[in-house]
Structure 1
Amino acid sequence: MVILGLALIILGGIAILSAVFVSEPGSGGELLGFDVSTLESFFIGVAAGAAILWGFSILKWGTKRSLAHRRERKELTELNQKLERVEAERRADGDNDGDPRT
């Protein structure tokens, strides 16, 4: 998700930069090798801005999700280590409470 968000941001930025630096004032000009009118240039800018905003939201959501997964994994690892310690102490004490499995 983070990669998709970054890709959208980069593509939107490229579209805006090419529209600003390549097009001629007053006429639509040329955008990435295509002849575009002023109205088309405007719509490309709107779409690029929307792509950038969408990219930021995907990036934010993906980062939150990965942080939550890391936190959960860390907590589970700590609980697993605690359980292994308790089990090792139980085996060391020789306390099997009449359970034939241990």
Structure 2
Amino acid sequence: MVILGLLLIGAGAIAILSALFVSEGRGELLGIDMPILAVFLVGVGAGAAILWGYTILKYGAKRELRARRERKELNELSAKLEKADEDRKRDDESL
């Protein structure tokens, strides 16, 4: 998720930067002659891709953090359970 978000942000940024350097009176984007409306729509799409990429990046980071916390908590609970089992076995053997 994080990688997809970064890729979308990068693609959008490249499209916007290439549209900024369009020569006067010509609609050229990455070496392709295009109508000005098409260049504008590419810019809108690039902005949407950046926002979408940021949203995916944020969601993926939150999800990874939550999973990491849950893993840590499960490991702690597992260690407590193993310790309790060992204590119970020792108590059973001593009887």
TM-score normalised over the length of structure 1: 0.86
Measured against aligned partners, the alpha-carbon deviations of 1:66-85 in whole angstroms (never above 9, x if no partner) come to 11111111110000000001
Which residue does the alignment assign to 1:73? 71
Give the number of the structure whose residues are more often helix, by fraction. Answer: 2
Structure 2, unmatched stretches of 5+, are none
Indicate whether 1:93 and 2:72 are aligned: no
Supply the AA of the counterpart residue of 2:63. Answer: R
Indicate whether 1:26 and 2:25 are aligned: yes
Larger Rg: 1
Cα distance in 2 for partners of 1:52, 1:36 equals: 22
Indicate whether 1:11 and 2:15 are aligned: no
Cα distance in 2 for partners of 1:12, 1:68 equals: 28
Greater RCO between the two (CA within 8 Å, min separation 6)?
2
In the alignment of these two chains, the number of paired residues is 95
Cα 1:56–1:96 shift into 2, 3 Å: farther
4+ residue runs over 3 A deviation = none
TM-score normalised over the length of structure 2: 0.92
Cα distance in 1 for partners of 2:15, 2:31 equals: 12
Structure 1, unmatched stretches of 5+, are 98-102
